[in-house]
Amino acid sequence: MDNLKDNNLVKFRNVSRKKEAIYANFRVKGVKRGVVFNATIAVDISAAETHAGDTLETIIEECARIGVKEFQNAEFQFEGLSSI
């Protein structure tokens, strides 16, 4: 289960519009190195070099590629745990 895309753990949810941008939203569920995780990813479609006039498939594919890449490279930190 090292590669999230190969295990179909990243699922497209919807496209949402907020005041500042349009986002493609994804749900991530999986197990990595013994840790079970659930997460959501929201990718601004302009960051994926797409726009609202593109086909939905193109928007989803480009946003998913960016979202998975950034999620895999993310470093997480527990809030307040540094004081223990």
pTM for this predicted structure: 0.73
- What pLDDT digit, counting tens, does each position of 12-56 carry? 999 999 988 899 999 988 776 777 788 899 999 888 888 778 888
Two tokens at 45? 């479609």
Tell me the domain boundaries of the chain: 10-75
Would the pLDDT of 83 be above 60?
Answer: no
Rounded to an integer, what distance in angstroms lies between the CA atom of residue 28 and that of residue 71?
A: 9
User: Cβ(50)–Cβ(58) under 8 Å?
Assistant: yes
Cα–Cα distance for residue pair 84/77, rounded to 1 Å:
13
pLDDT surpassing 80 at residue 79? no
Helix (H, G, I), strand (E, B) or coil at 63: helix
CA 70, CA 62: separation in Å to the nearest integer?
13
